[in-house]
Structure 1
Amino acid sequence: MNVRSLLFGLMMLVWGNSLQGQEVSRGRLGILLGGMNGVSYDYALTNHLELGGTAAFVLGLGYGGSSKSFQFGGLTPLLELAPRYYFSRQEGDRLFYKGGYLSLRLGAQIDDWTLFPSKAVRESNVKSHYTLGMAPTFGWSFPLSEKSALRLGIGFLFYRSKRSYAGDSYYAGQSYWEKTHRLSDAPFLLDIAYSIAL
């Protein structure tokens, strides 16, 4: 399945659900803590579908294949838009959806503005400037109280990253695009967020 088919299928799902004439939509402003730290706004389109927007700092944690160790990359600013389709109905007056969901996370990350970059990032001969990403995600949402919820998910990240060479190499100053070419190259992306409704 290619990316265009996936996007077209998601758009048809959104359009079909919005035509069902279900109860009035509702929005929710909140604070995110965890893998993403910032603010979010989730808007319920139907009993199953919500659209989420996020402005946050992403906690850069990863597992290095060559070093065989966990690495910290810093806190990087991110803007994200994520339609989510929940399999279970939203019942009653609950603020948060409960149960399994499918999502398509679309984000733009500004790597040049990373706070507290690690020594490995600072001394690298390759500098990343910004990254555009798309991550089909499956997960589960757990309302913890009337005003809080925990969301856990996992997906594959397809990205395009603008990078340039630094240092004294022959290619210093030259920029290029690095991108995901196939599913086997796509890294796992975790969706771990604790939401508090304001």
Structure 2
Amino acid sequence: MTVIGVFALQGNVREHLAMLTDVGVEARPVRRPSELEQVDALVLPGGESTTMDKLARAFELFEPLQKRIADGMPVFGTCAGMIMLANEITGGIEGQETLGGLDVTVRRNAFGRQVDSFEADLDFPGLGPGFGTPYHAVFIRAPWVERVGRDVEVLSTVSSGPATGRIVAVRHDRLLATSFHPEMTGDARLHGYFAELVRGL
């Protein structure tokens, strides 16, 4: 069976584990390098990207994660997880580093502070008939993508309000990232899409 881990040092770990189980994969929390070695793919959840960076280093996960990503491990980054995957960030704190691999520039906290959190219905026109109805997304202190590399596919943008046109979901080969929290809505379509991506390798 396909085994997908969830970076379990911060964020909505339990919710991601439940979503992955719902789409038919074995889901495991990952806190140590030995646990990372046992999974086929990984979810980087939302949380605080600077804290995730520090915790990954404290638990000696940062470099093993970078290596697995560079070697082609599929990763699904959500909110802070998107920031952790980005090759470049703006609005970060001094010295903040990312795992990299995703050829984008992401603006941290782009949509504003916690009080500026919002929900929106998003279209995913390139993901097939399973995404024929809008995906209800929850944005909390969310980033957005300001630049995409040549090989990065834009999956969804905000379609209304002051942030219209902002990129909030991308895919670059085996890396998938969203600005929002797909684990908070009860809609497992994106987790299912990621699971199929991993199974197809």
Q: TM-score with structure 2 length normalisation?
A: 0.21
Bigger proportion of residues as helix: 2
Bigger proportion of residues as strand: 1
Query: Rg: which structure is higher?
Result: 1
